[in-house]
Amino acid sequence: MQIIENLKVKEKLYIEKLENGLTVMIIPKKGIQKKYVIWGTNYGSNDSKFVVPGEKEPTEVPKGVAHFLEHKMFEQESGVNSLDTLTALGVDANAYTTNDHTAYLFECTDNFYPALDELMDYVQHPYFTDENVEKEKGIIGQEIMMYDDYPDWKVYLNALEAMYHEHPVKLDITGTIETISHIDKDILYKCYNTFYNPSNMAMVVCGDFEPEELLKEIKNRLIDKKANGEIKRIYPEEKEEIVKEKIEQNMDVSQPLFAIGIKDKIADTNERVKKHIAFEILLNMILGKSSKLYQELYNEGILFVTPGLDYEFARGYAHILITGQSPKPYEVYDKFKKTVEKMKNEPIDSEEFNRIKKRIYGQYVKEYNDTADIARMFLADFFKEINSFDYLEEITTVNEEYLQQILKEVFDDKKMIISVIKKG
């Protein structure tokens, strides 16, 4: 078992890749009552075209299969729903699907091993029939229609639509009513057998555990399944330029919502963390709570709450998203662009840079206070080929020159979009 220690947060990561290919990560937290386990597969909504290991021809499945699979995994042949079993044990269980991974999890103070029994049983034993797949289409169809009515979700999806020509990140994770109508049990089993192989999965456990003992317990609950070869994922060729700069939709909102996007190229593995940190610092300098621009927009009654500042990236895509609510969204966009241009032509404000960098470092350290934050972070980062500890190390390498370089390379007018949902 490999041990990676980070002295900055006084945490140890115990990591082992098992014979069947499963990666297990354990972060012990002595004296902490809460225990958190998350078991994920490197399979998200973007993965709808792929070559199954051992096959030559590509397989293409309808959009929304990863999310559909996640819904169906809880249903057992006995007629019992595993979510009900876990709830009866007094644990808080859930699952989710993103663009690049699917995860099953629970948090508890007691009954950890009985809950682990259930989690590892249902994730390893899918049960799909013609009847239960048809029934699920109705349930997921209602979920899709519900999300169609959420302005916050639509402003986000429309922003992706304005940025991406072909990449599946622009499509709804749930798929559409049309695409899910083509899903059947054979498709579900094919995707399960391809992507839910241990070699494509990782488990992260955080809590008061003896790592060696816990690892034995996990191994005892694994069914005998051999690692398969590499899954070749196929994504369409994506142009560097955006689709269109502005996209608008009318919905029932009290005040317009906006999403400002900047399309980026995915960084090399060794630069992903450093680039991500640079974006966090830059976005806070441009439009964070203490920025001059935010204060100005707040005083003018154009912004009332600090916007969301995010950088999203995974296989084949990367973008910045700034989301918020404003009576004058286009004015926010215009002033954002002008502020960026001004910053490009001036030296970085050292005092502000150092202050924000320290604050972001403090936020990184704070994430290690919570078992759930730690486990989810390590899983998501692992599937992006990142060790979460790297953020604590790389932040020291981000200097003003690098910030200026990223500002000039990425914050390009021609790569910027605005999505607006207004009342109508």
DSSP 323-379: EEE-S-HHHHHHHHHHHHHHHHTS---HHHHHHHHHHHHHHHHHGGG-HHHHHHHHH
Q: Is the pLDDT of residue 424 over 90?
A: no
Q: Are 118 and 210 contained in the same domain?
A: yes
Q: Is the pLDDT of residue 222 over 90?
A: yes
Share of the chain above pLDDT 90, in %: 96
Q: Are 227 and 261 contained in the same domain?
A: no
- pLDDT score at 147: 87
DSSP-derived 3-state class of residue 121 = helix
Output the domain CATH number for residue 25: 3.30.830.10
pLDDT confidence band for 268 (50 / 70 / 90): confident
Domain contains 401: yes
Domain contains 174: yes
pLDDT confidence band for 360 (50 / 70 / 90): very high
DSSP-derived 3-state class of residue 131 = helix
- pLDDT tens for 287-310 read 999 999 999 999 999 999 999 999
Domain contains 241: no
Q: Is the pLDDT of residue 267 over 90?
A: no
Concerning whether 70 is annotated as a catalytic residue, the answer is yes
Amino acid at 360: I
Q: Residue 251's domain spans which residues?
A: 246-423
Domain contains 75: yes
Q: Are 170 and 32 contained in the same domain?
A: yes
Domain contains 173: yes
Check: CB of residue 188 under 8 Å from CB of residue 173. Answer: no
**How many separate domains does the chain show?**
2
- pLDDT score at 93: 97
Q: Are 123 and 264 contained in the same domain?
A: no
Q: 325 phi and psi, to 5 degrees?
A: -130, 135
**What's the alpha-carbon Rg for the chain, to the nearest Å?**
23
- Between CA 97 and CA 68 the distance in angstroms is 9
Domain contains 239: no
Q: Are 319 and 196 contained in the same domain?
A: no
- pLDDT score at 98: 97
E-only strand ranges, 242-307: 246-251, 257-264
- pLDDT score at 4: 97
- The residue out of 174, 203, 233 marking a domain boundary is 233
- pLDDT score at 269: 85
Q: Are 162 and 281 contained in the same domain?
A: no
Q: Is the pLDDT of residue 8 over 90?
A: yes
Residue 417 half-sphere exposure toward CB, CA atoms < 13 A: 28
Share of the chain above pLDDT 70, in %: 100
Q: What is the mean pLDDT of the chain?
A: 96
Q: Are 313 and 410 contained in the same domain?
A: yes
Q: What is the DSSP letter of 77?
A: T
Q: Are 228 and 322 contained in the same domain?
A: no
Q: Is the pLDDT of residue 358 over 90?
A: yes
- pLDDT tens for 57-82 read 999 999 999 999 999 999 999 989 99
- pLDDT score at 64: 96
- The residue out of 233, 255, 286 marking a domain boundary is 233
Mean pLDDT of 6-12: 95
Mean pLDDT of 249-276: 94
- Between CA 317 and CA 47 the distance in angstroms is 13
- pLDDT tens for 14-59 read 999 999 999 999 999 999 999 999 999 999 999 999 999 999 999 9
Mean pLDDT of 406-424: 95
Q: Are 225 and 257 contained in the same domain?
A: no
- Between CA 31 and CA 21 the distance in angstroms is 31
Q: Are 254 and 198 contained in the same domain?
A: no
- Between CA 404 and CA 415 the distance in angstroms is 17
SS3 string, 177-241, reads HHHHCCCCHHHHHHHHHHHCCHHHEEEEEEECCCHHHHHHHHHHCCCCCCCCCCCEECCCCCCCC
pLDDT confidence band for 148 (50 / 70 / 90): confident
Q: Are 46 and 142 contained in the same domain?
A: yes
In this prediction the pTM is 0.95
Domain contains 89: yes
User: Which of 70, 75, 107, 136 is the catalytic position?
Assistant: 70
pLDDT confidence band for 84 (50 / 70 / 90): very high
Q: Are 385 and 268 contained in the same domain?
A: yes
